A and B are shown apart, each in its own frame.
Chain A
Amino acid sequence: MKYLFLFIFSISFFIGTAQENEESNKIEFNGFVRNYMGVFTQSPNDFSIFQNTVNLEIKQQNDKIGFYANPYLYHYANKPIEWRLREMYVDFFTNKMDIRIGKQQIIWGQADGVFITDIVTPKDLSEFLLRDFNEIRTGINAVKANYYFNDENSLELVWIPQFTSTKPPGPGSNWYFTLPFPVKPTFHLEKKNIPLRLENGEFFARYSLNNSWIDLQLMGGYTWDDDPALHMMRTKDTMTGVLKIDITPEHHRMALFGGSFSTDVAGFILRGESAYYLDKYFQNPFVKEAVVQKDYLNYVVGLDKTIGDWRLSAQFIQKRILDYDEDIFFNEVENLATLLVSKSMFREKLRVEWFTYFGITHIDAFSRLRAFYMPYDQVSIEMGTNLFVNSEFDLKPGDVPGLFGRYDKNDMIYTRVKYSF
Chain B
Amino acid sequence: MNTKILKIGLLALISLFFNDAIFAQTAKEIAYKVYNRKTPDSGQSDMTMTLINKKGKERVRSLHQFFIDEGDTEKKIMFFKSPADVKNTSFMNWTYDDTSEDDDQWLFLPALKKVKRISNSSKDNEFMGSDFTYEDMERRSPEKDNHKLLREETLNGDDCWVMEVTPKEEEQYSKKIGWISKEKEIPVKVEFYDEDGDLLKVLNIQDFEHIDGYWIATKQLMENVQKNHKTTIELTHLKINIGLQSSKFTQRAMQKGL
Q: Do A and B bind each other?
A: yes
The residue of chain B having its C-beta at the shortest distance from the C-beta of A66 within the complex is B256
Instruction: Report A-chain residues with C-beta under 8 Å of the C-beta of B125.
Output: 306, 308-309
Contact stretch, chosen from A42-50, A236-244, A261-269, A404-412: A261-269
Bound complex: CA A133 to CA B247 (Å): 30
* B129–A378 touching, CB < 8 Å: no
B88, B104, B111, B130: the one contacting A132 at CB < 8 Å is B111
Most-contacted residue by chain B among A93, A108, A151 (CB, 10 A): A151
Q: Known: A134-B111, A264-B102, A306-B120. Contact between A349 and B85, CB under 8 A?
A: no
- How many residue pairs between the two chains, A and B, have CB atoms under 8 Å in the bound complex? 95
Q: Scoring A residues 243 to 266 as 1 if CB is less than 8 Å from chain B, else 0, what string do you get?
A: 000000000000000000011100
Give, as a whole number of angstroms, the nearest-CB distance from A60 to chain B: 12
Q: A21 at interface (Cβ–Cβ under 8 A)? A: no
B256/A98 in contact, CB under 8 A: yes
Give the size of the chain A interface in residues (CB under 8 angstroms): 43
Which residues of A lie under 8 Å from residue B124 when comparing CB positions?
308
Check A32–B85 contact: CB distance below 8 A.
Answer: yes
| In the complex, B226 has a CB within 8 A of chain A | no
Taking a contact as CB atoms under 8 Å apart, the answer to whether A348 and B112 are in contact is: no
Q: Which residues of A contact B38 (CB under 8 A)?
A: none
A30-B87 in contact given A132-B111, A134-B112 (Cβ < 8 Å) = yes
B: interface residue count bin: 35 or more
The residue that A420 contacts in the complex, of B83, B115, B252, with Cβ under 8 A, is B83
Contact of B113 (CB < 8 Å), options: A134, A262, A269, A380: A134
Docked-complex contact B129 and A377, CB < 8 angstroms: no
Decide yes or no whether B251 CB sits under 8 A from chain A. yes
Alpha-carbon distance between A110 and B82 when the two chains are bound, in angstroms: 27
Known: A32-B85, A267-B102, A420-B85. A306 touches B122 (CB 8 A): yes
Cα–Cα distance between A267 and B105 once the two chains are bound (Å) = 11
Chain A residues numbered 256-297 whose CB sits less than 8 Å from any CB in chain B: 262-264, 267-269
Is A164 on the interface with B (CB-CB < 8 A)?
no
Q: A151 with B117: in contact, given A93-B256, A377-B83 (CB under 8 Å)? A: no
Supply 24 A–B pairs (Cβ within 8 Å), ascending by A.
A30-B88, A107-B113, A132-B111, A133-B111, A134-B111, A210-B250, A212-B73, A262-B116, A304-B119, A305-B119, A306-B122, A308-B125, A309-B126, A347-B129, A347-B130, A347-B229, A348-B126, A377-B83, A377-B84, A378-B83, A378-B85, A420-B84, A420-B85, A421-B84
Interface contacts beyond A30-B88, A61-B257, A380-B85: sample of 19 additional A-B pairs, CB < 8 Å, sorted by A: A93-B256, A109-B114, A151-B247, A210-B251, A215-B117, A263-B117, A264-B102, A269-B119, A305-B119, A306-B118, A306-B120, A306-B121, A306-B122, A308-B122, A344-B129, A347-B129, A377-B85, A378-B83, A421-B84
